Amino acid sequence: MQADADHVDAIAPFIEEGWLSDILYEVKSGKEATVFCCSGGSRSPVPLIAAKVYRPIESRRFKNDAMYIGGRVHMARESRISRAVNSKSAFGRRVQYGTWMAEEWETLRVLHEAGADVPEPLALGERAILMPFLGDETGPAPLLHEVTPDHATVVRIIDDLLWNVELMLDHDCVHGDLSPYNIMFHDGRAIIIDFPQAIDPRLNGNGFTLLVRDLENLCRWAERLGVSRPAGKIASRLWERFVMGELG
């Protein structure tokens, strides 16, 4: 396919290093990144790879960052870096850009090793992350909001997702933007994607608010398909365990 020069530049090092052999097609272009389906190269453990290419600094839309940025690397103390980020200077935006991508990589690495239903991070570049592609040569696996499973499958999926939320909290992580729009349904499993806004609830004062929102989004999806789960009670119970040190 014909990718634009900027995306080719971001992906080219992976081709040179043997991770990829070709860009097959663009999967989606969002506010934070563009995802491509690529054929794997000699170093790839899978035949198809998703290359998530982050937008350049100039076109990234850092909307509502204040809720998510608290407690990220280099941001916890007053310094030139934190002042630059808060003032949205050119230097601050470069730091912020790198922070988002590095945080997503590290979050995926930790959660995948812990057994969470997330993509395995394969390689990290200056502007892109590689992961196994969920889908085939004709298109990506559907998002959860695009499928209508039977009742038994909905029960299994929502309980698996609630287990994942608990596991994430046990590893000091709240997704922060979890919904059926960033969960893929692949080979009968719900796979959680898109972690650039994930936060550490030990350091971010909005941790409980974001946890509640994530759980409400999941439980609303299940409710529409006839399965009831009490989001508020689940959030309160998990947060109490987190505060008491039983999780995290």
* Each residue's pLDDT tens digit, 95-149: 455 567 888 999 999 999 999 999 999 999 999 999 999 999 999 999 999 999 9
Stretch 34-63: mean pLDDT, rounded?
85
171: tokens are: 């590893």
**pLDDT confidence of residue 45:** 96
pLDDT over 60 at 87, yes or no: no
Instruction: Say whether pLDDT at 32 is over 70.
Output: yes
Report d(CA 36, CA 40) in Å as an integer: 12
Residue 151: pLDDT over 60: yes
Which one, of 68, 101, 63, lies nearest residue 200 by Cα?
A: 68
147 Cβ neighbours under 8 A, 6+ residues apart = 185
Q: What is the mean pLDDT of the segment spanning 72-80? A: 44
**Highest mean pLDDT: which range of 45-49, 82-86, 193-197:** 45-49
- In this prediction, residues 175-191 reach a mean pLDDT of 97
HSE (CB half, 13 Å, CA atoms) of 119? 27
Query: Average pLDDT for residues 22-30, to the nearest whole number?
Result: 94
Q: Which residues pair with 190 in a beta bridge?
A: 185
